[in-house]
Structure 1
Amino acid sequence: MDIAVTELMERFYGLLWPMLRISALLVAAPIFSLRAVNLRIRIVLAMAITWLVYPLHDWPVIDPLTPAGLLEISNQLMIGLLMGLMLQVVTAAIVLAGQSIANAIGLSMATMIDPNMGNVPVISQFLLIMATLIFVGLGGHALLLNLVVESFNTLPIGSNLMSTEAMKHVIAWSSMLFLGALLTALPVLVALLFINIGLGVATRAAPSLNIFSVGFPAMIFAGFGVLILALPSIGARIQWLWMQGFFQVRALVGIS
């Protein structure tokens, strides 16, 4: 009986370390972090992936109640969270692009309560839905799970990701939040800028023209028209952002 209990504890300690990293990834990564994927689904999914990964490696037996074990728990959680947060930069960039487009059109007050992102403009909500479909269409969920499985080869249990180079890499990638938003919203913003210039010239030529009564509905109609025409380029830019996010995650965990 004592032997069985000892073997059971060793097996539990072995399963604990990969499950911590995988669970942290599922908490922070796009799609898996949605509230529609509730806690029970995440736990079952993390246990299933852990059970599949477990026979592929030799796992160290570390008591999680010791100082070394507590440090390793923090390390595994940090690896999983950073992998997920690297892709959340893409989601934030898409939300910011939608906010910029909504402000330019004049729909900044038209907002929706998103259970995941909070109070966001309807344009941002539309772009988020499109980005989610592109993510699934690319097989991003499978690519992400493949990355976390491969990370156990490049960052085995006991490796530390909290280095200066890793933090520099994360901070440098976070600038894509603004650059990605600018690149995504640029076609619509440039077109609306020229429309605004045209309205300004018309107002200057005809001072009696009420710019507010004419310009506001004109900007809304023109903005939606330009947005529809720019959707192919916006979709391609979102796809590029997702692929860049995966490349950055691979570089972070050292996968060549």
Structure 2
Amino acid sequence: MSGADPLLFSAFAEHWLLTAFIAFARLGSATLLLPGFGEQAIPPRVKIAFGLVLTLALMPILPIPEPPAALPLFVLLIGLEVMIGIFIGLGARLLLAALHILGAQIGFAAGLSNAFMPNQSNAESGSAIAALLMAGAVALLFATNLHHVILSGLLRSYVILPPGRIIPGDMADQVARLGAGAFYIAATMAAPFFLLSLLVNLGLGVANRVMPAMQVFFVAAPGLIVLGLGVLALTIPALLDLQIEAIADWYRTFVR
């Protein structure tokens, strides 16, 4: 009896580790992309550590299947879980990209674009306005407790997408819809700035025709920046509210 105890403990530990690895495959991969948790400024070690803590906290209530005995089946299950986790995190990341597009449009309209401005949520550079909008969206995400909805959606994803089962056609369709939705949201929110840019540039064109000797660009640039910032100050609450609501709707689809 005493000789069987170490073997029993070893088998239990092995089963628990394999089950935890299956759970971490989805939760950990999603954590790398989740808004607020997977930002570019957060070190990778912190993201992985949060994924491990989240996995350990949710494991008792997760419907994790028995780990396959065959190694190829186990590797296939891990790969499918990673794909599902990336899909869940990528959905919100695509919607959040609308602010990156919007910031670039506002920067061009207000003359505030800078190719050397780092972006807080993406590896590529962006405008100062995009960085401001991204930081505001992440702050609002936690201020409105939207991260609770995100974690609930991640937990409920096991009901809609059981472990080891994916629907490639529907997942690809959802990614395409989210990408199109991001451009639609960006175009909708940037409409006032498009109108501002059109009117200002038309006015500059008329002024240049009337007074060809005047340096219209240098005279109008400060006014254009002030107008752009003024419109941004008036619209930024609505912009962030619309963006946060779009992300919340994406994760509510898993909760419903």
Q: TM-score, normalised by structure 1?
A: 0.87
| Deviation at residue 176 of structure 1 after TM alignment | 2.0
Matched, 1:151 2:157: yes
In 2, Cα distance between the equivalents of 1:41 and 1:208?
A: 58
Deviations 1:196-216 (A, max 9, x none): 222333333444433223222
Aligned residues of 1:98 and 1:123 also touching (Cα < 8 A): yes
Query: Which ranges of 4 or more aligned residues in structure 1 deviate by more than 4 Å?
Result: none
* Equivalent runs, 1:1-256 vs 2, <5 Å: 1-63=6-68, 66-109=71-114, 111-114=116-119, 116-117=121-122, 118-160=124-166, 162-231=167-236, 235-251=237-253, 253=254, 255-256=255-256
Letter of the structure 2 residue corresponding to residue 238 of structure 1? L
In 2, Cα distance between the equivalents of 1:96 and 1:193?
A: 18
CA distance 1:111–1:124, change in 2 (3 Å): farther
Aligned residues: 250
CA distance 1:180–1:52, change in 2 (3 Å): same
Q: Report the secondary structure of 2:117's partner residue.
A: strand
In 2, Cα distance between the equivalents of 1:93 and 1:37?
A: 21
Letter of the structure 1 residue corresponding to residue 245 of structure 2? M
Q: TM-score, normalised by structure 2?
A: 0.87
Aligned residues of 1:135 and 1:239 also touching (Cα < 8 A): no
Deviations 1:124-170 (A, max 9, x none): 1111111112222222222111111111233222322x421221121
Aligned residues of 2:107 and 2:127 also touching (Cα < 8 A): yes
Aligned residues of 2:36 and 2:138 also touching (Cα < 8 A): yes
Letter of the structure 2 residue corresponding to residue 247 of structure 1? D
Letter of the structure 2 residue corresponding to residue 119 of structure 1? S
The alignment's C-alpha RMSD in Å is 2.3
In 2, Cα distance between the equivalents of 1:214 and 1:151?
A: 55
Aligned residues of 2:41 and 2:120 also touching (Cα < 8 A): no
In 1, Cα distance between the equivalents of 2:92 and 2:238?
A: 17
CA distance 1:194–1:50, change in 2 (3 Å): same
Query: Any unmatched runs of 5+ in structure 2?
Result: 1-5
Query: Any unmatched runs of 5+ in structure 1?
Result: none
CA distance 1:122–1:200, change in 2 (3 Å): same
In 1, Cα distance between the equivalents of 2:217 and 2:40?
A: 41
In 2, Cα distance between the equivalents of 1:243 and 1:46?
A: 25
Point out the more displaced range, 204-213 or 220-229.
204-213
Q: Report the secondary structure of 1:150's partner residue.
A: helix
The percentage of aligned residue pairs carrying the same residue is 24
Aligned residues of 1:13 and 1:63 also touching (Cα < 8 A): no
